[in-house]
Amino acid sequence: MVGTRRDVLLGGLALLGAGAIGRPVFAQASSFFAGTAVDNGITFRATNFARIDRRWHRQVVKYFSSEPIGTVVVDTRHHFLYLIMENKTAIRYGVGVGRDGFKWFGRATIDSKSLWPRWTPPPEMRKRHPELPEFVAGGSPKNPLGPRAMYLHRDGVDTGYRFHGTLEPWSIGKDASSGCIRMFNEDAIDLYQRCPIGTAVQVLPHIADQAPPATEVTAVE
């Protein structure tokens, strides 16, 4: 499902300063950000990619698949999202996926997309955590969806799962979400502009056992 209580609390606490969560923890989290960026009039903290393991950087890789060009394939075991391109290549993004008990697999389509989306905690989440707000406005530094959300539907029905940005860049490459696919905010912006409404999505347990090593990739700017 969309976001977690930890998403919201960490985002808000980070803004309040080191005293709220402990200076060493705050300092560690802050190292994952470097300055700010502006998108559609909203300023957000830019990811410090120098702090991020190279494997999670957005890059072009060799990719062999029977899926059509333009399909998005998610490898949940290895924490990669692939956008299939021409000439047996794909843009590969590092992602965070659902933790134990929240994983899901199957086919879907991107049936709607949002710039700086509002976050509304699902009813079941608010039942477990009644302290959560009814919603968090789009563009708020506490919004766990970040600058973009792509909503996944199956047979015309909202699955409740999304591709979206994150308040926690350190969670990319981990099983950390309530089922949604987290991306670096910059990557969520990039994927959003590449995926029109109707984009086919396949979420799999794993597909990357034969993936090329990191030395065989090309960075995507």
Question: Mind telling me the catalytic residues?
Answer: 164, 180
> Looking at residue 136, what DSSP letter applies?
B
| Strand-pair category, 42-47 with 59-62 | unpaired
Calculate ∠ Cα 1-172-116, nearest 5°: 60
Tokens for 186?
């910059």
Of 75, 76, 77, 47, the residue nearest 61 (C-alpha): 75
Strand, helix or coil for residue 4? coil
Evaluate whether 92 touches 56 at the Cβ level (below 8 Å). Answer: no
| Strand-pair category, 80-84 with 72-75 | antiparallel
How many Cα atoms occupy the beta-carbon half-sphere of 131 within 13 Å? Answer: 5
* Helical (H) or strand (E) element with 125: helix 123-128
Cβ-based neighbours of 210, under 8 Å, separated by 6 or more: none
Q: What is the C-alpha to C-alpha distance for residues 206 and 170, in angstroms, rounded to an integer? A: 21
